[in-house]
Chain A
Amino acid sequence: EDQVTQSPEALRLQEGESSSLNCSYTVSGLRGLFWYRQDPGKGPEFLFTLYSAGEEKEKERLKATLTKKESFLHITAPKPEDSATYLCAVLTTSGTYKYIFGTGTRLKVLA
C-alpha cells in the first residue's frame, strides 16, 4: 500500500537552531515528491519538487533532499517566521492523479 509518513509530528526550535524534518515514503512508483508550507487558516504553499534520488533543492533557509526511501527538509538557522506546518506529498505512477499526503510536521521557532 502506498504510504507517506512524516516525523516528527511537532518540533520546537530556538531561533538559529538548525534541524531536519523527515518524510518517508513507500510507493509502487514515484513520479515526484513535493514539499508544502501551510500557515494556520491558509492553503498549502508549494515549496519544492524532487524527482530522483540524490536531487537537492534550496530556497532561503530551506533545503530539500531525496533518497529512494525518504526526503529531508533541512532548516538552517531558522527564524520565527519559519513557524508553520510543513507537508510532504508524493505523486505516484498509479493513475492520473494519485497524490498521497503526509500528516505534516508542525514547526515552532522561538525567538
Chain B
Amino acid sequence: RKEVEQDPGPFNVPEGATVAFNCTYSNSASQSFFWYRQDCRKEPKLLMSVYSSGNEDGRFTAQLNRASQYISLLIRDSKLSDSATYLCVVDGGSQGNLIFGKGTKLSVKP
C-alpha cells in the first residue's frame, strides 16, 4: 500500500461548484497533516494544515478521520483560480519528514 494515496483526477467542475478530495495514508502513527497546492509548472505552497477537529479557512474545509486514516479537503463556491493540483501531505517517519501524495488535479471551468 502506498504511503499517501490520492485520486489523480482530473476533477472538472464549473465555477461555483463544491468539490471534495480525499486522501488515505498508511502510517497510523502520523500526527501532522497538510494540504499543499501546486499550480502548473510552479512549486508547491502550503494551503492549510489539517487538525483533528477539522478546520476551515474561507471556502476551504479540511477534515481528518484518524480511525479510517483519511483526510479530506472541501472547496465551496469554486473559482477559476482554484484550478491547480492539490497535494495531500502526511508526516511519515521517525525523522518526521513529510510524505507527499501525487496530487489531485482540479480544473474549474467558466
- Asked if A and B bind, the verdict is no
Which B residues are within 8 Å of any A CB, using their own CB?
A: none
Which A residues are within 8 Å of any B CB, using their own CB?
A: none
